[in-house]
Amino acid sequence: MFRFIPLVICVLFAVHVSCSSQPKEQKPTKITPAAACMDDYLHLLTNKRVGILVNHSSLVNKTHLLDTLLSRGIDVKMIFAPEHGFRGEHDAGEEVKSDIDTKTGVPIVSLYGKNKKPSAQQLKNIDIVIFDIQDVGVRFYTYISSMHYMMEACAEESVKMLVLDRPNPNGDYFDGPILKSDYKSFVGMHPIPVVHGLTVGELAEMINGEGWLKDGVKCDLQVIKVKNWNHSQPYHLPVKPSPNLPNYISLRLYPTLCFFEASNVSVGRGTYFPFQVIGYPDSTAGDFTFIPLSIPGMSKNPKQENIKCYGIDLREASADHRFTLSYFISFYAKFGKDKDFGLNKLWFNLLAGDGQVLQDIQAGLSEAQIKQKWQPDLQAYEKLRAKYLLYPSAVTGLSKE
């Protein structure tokens, strides 16, 4: 029996060596939004009078940027609030009023409503403005419009602007028609596709570099970068960026489903799964059913309120879902001539940024035929985008269909 002991010892030693020689599985490196990289920008704020364009998503770990800056002795003079308000509690399109933050006593200036651009008076006692808001990478999501107007106002009043960058949950691709100048509005201010594939920092650099501010003025702009992120990495937001985008699937479906907002088709506002379903009060629309209800803080007066809607449940959609017109084309083919479909052509065209898209849908063109018309513009945009990328991007050609 004892003659087997050396053999057993050798086997155990070999197993130990084999296991110890295997590379240890490395934990994924933590993605760190710029706001949490305080060593990169805090020195820029010392002895400065600071304004901040922020909302509820402006967090340093779990603490709001405002509270974080004040705790570091930074002199925050003014809060500027975009759509949905400083605390992110206003419904889409709901008026945001100027106020005082009850916790800190810092004045809040609304930039959603009649006053979309800060006045010279509002920037009079400001040396530097910080923009720190979580965006979703879609042209008609209005936080980037507020950023544009702030850049323009800062340029005109010689105020420096600091963008604290955050990852884009739709930053792995770009797609959709490029906005035409005739359709410029607050839901589309730049000649970029529906899904633009840029962070707010990259887009700010593009706006500045391409001379898109009024009269070609240039903003004294500095972008603080995200750490450990690239455009191919999925990013699950720590907080929902607005009341009706509660999770990653809704963020991925948002650019596709938002076109239904120009009709009476429900995309789930008034449910706890907005931008994850499609419904219309006609049983031929689909087997899935839901009833939109008034939900304070999410949707006070949702489309088709208290009416049973039939349609499609997309909550199990692929996390890789990309922009498509297929759902809108299908619903338009079925119900587009229905007087209750409620299509608002102007609103659709502003969202699309191009009047040709709706004409093509109405003419019965397929999605492939419609998207083919975008390709020359997207090829030009691909080159433009490459100039302003701050993070590695795997996009080497046009977006997937």
What pLDDT, on the 0 to 100 scale, is given for residue 395? 60
- Tokens coding 352: 């699309």
What pLDDT, on the 0 to 100 scale, is given for residue 103? 83
Q: What are phi and psi of 398, to 5 degrees?
A: -75, 160
Q: What are phi and psi of 266, to 5 degrees?
A: -85, 140
Q: Which domains does the chain have, with CATH numbers?
A: 34-224 (3.40.50.12170), 248-362 (no CATH)
- CA dihedral (336, 339, 340, 346) positive or negative: positive
Global pTM value: 0.89
Residues 214-232 as b/e (b if ≥16 CB within 10 A, e otherwise) read eeeeebebebbbbeebebe
Question: How many angstroms separate the CA atoms of 302 and 308, rounded?
Answer: 13
β-pairing, 63-64 with 59-60?
A: antiparallel
Cα-based distances in Å from 108 to 76, 78, 125, 175, 218: 11, 6, 14, 36, 26
What pLDDT, on the 0 to 100 scale, is given for residue 19? 42
Residue 163 scores a pLDDT above 60: yes
Share of the chain above pLDDT 70, in %: 88
Question: How many angstroms separate the CA atoms of 100 and 120, rounded?
Answer: 20
What pLDDT, on the 0 to 100 scale, is given for residue 114? 82
What pLDDT, on the 0 to 100 scale, is given for residue 277? 98
* Residue 87 pLDDT grade (very low, low, confident, very high; cuts 50, 70, 90): low
- Of 65-79, 245-259, 365-379, 386-400, the range with the lowest mean pLDDT is 386-400
In DSSP terms, which residues pair with 332 in a beta bridge? none
Residue showing tokens 């706001």? 35
pLDDT digits over 23-66, tens only?
454 556 899 999 999 999 999 999 999 999 999 999 999 999 99
pLDDT digits over 275-332, tens only?
999 999 999 999 999 999 999 888 989 999 999 999 999 999 888 899 999 999 999 9
